[in-house]
Amino acid sequence: MRLLLSVLLVALSCGAAFAQAPSAERSKALQDRLKSIQGNPAALKAAVEAGRSVSFFCHNCHGEDGIGRTAQVPNLNGQDAAFLLDQTRKYLVGGKDPFKQGVVKAMKDEEQIQTVLFYASLPPRTFPVDKGMMLRGKVVYEKNCKSCHGDKAHGSDKMMRLAGQRIDYVAYALGQAAQQKGGDPAAREAKAKLPPDDMKAVGNYLAQLP
């Protein structure tokens, strides 16, 4: 989400209905609003179309098609909208990524919802892979990842969609996650014991999953 710094100097005010609410309560209110829109076909269509324009905040990294532009950026197309909204809200606390924090702060609550609905509406993609690496990656995935991420790796409102992620991103993310502290110890241990070639193999397997 690298935009001109001038964009980040404009802090758009948030919806008055949520102005005084604590962060957790406010995020829940937005999730409820998201579900309400998803339950109304006309409202959902309008929100997705609005998100197509609002998502310019994210195009430099995630593009209009939801495909990450570098190895450090995941694909957003086809992700669960509730998961994307939760991740978006997390940029507002903790200060782990000041730049993205600034971008999210520059978006109104409704714009955040519209953006995640737009990216969630985009069709997942698959990518060319090395067949031998893919078959190896399938074995590695089923042994180390399947119990948490499921047979098809399609994600949920609590978990990222891994199917259709690019090979370079998967290898990068696994390498980073193996070095991080905190989180699920079992998941961290599983990632830490994967050699680089296995990380690349898992990437090949996930990249071709529809």
User: Residue 177: is its pLDDT beyond 80?
Assistant: no
User: Residue 17: is its pLDDT beyond 70?
Assistant: no
pLDDT, tens digit (0-9, with 9 covering 90-100), for 98-120:
888 888 888 999 999 999 999 99
Mean pLDDT over 129-158 rounds to 95
Structural domains in the chain plus CATH codes: 15-121 (1.10.760.10), 131-207 (1.10.760.10)
For every residue of the chain, DSSP letters joined together read ----HHHHT--PPPPGGGTTS-HHHHHHHHHHHHHHHHT-HHHHHHHHHHHHHHGGGTHHHHTTTS--SSTTS---TT--HHHHHHHHHHTTSS-S-HHHHHHHHTS-HHHHHHHHHHHHHSPP------HHHHHHHHHHHHHHTHHHH-SS----SSS---TT--HHHHHHHHHHHHH--SS-HHHHHHHHT--HHHHHHHHHHHHT--
User: Residue 149: is its pLDDT beyond 70?
Assistant: yes
Q: Give the pLDDT score at 11.
A: 30
Percent of the chain whose predicted confidence (pLDDT) is above 70:
84
User: Residue 49: is its pLDDT beyond 50?
Assistant: yes
User: Residue 3: is its pLDDT beyond 50?
Assistant: no
User: Residue 126: is its pLDDT beyond 50?
Assistant: yes
Q: Give the pLDDT score at 166.
A: 97
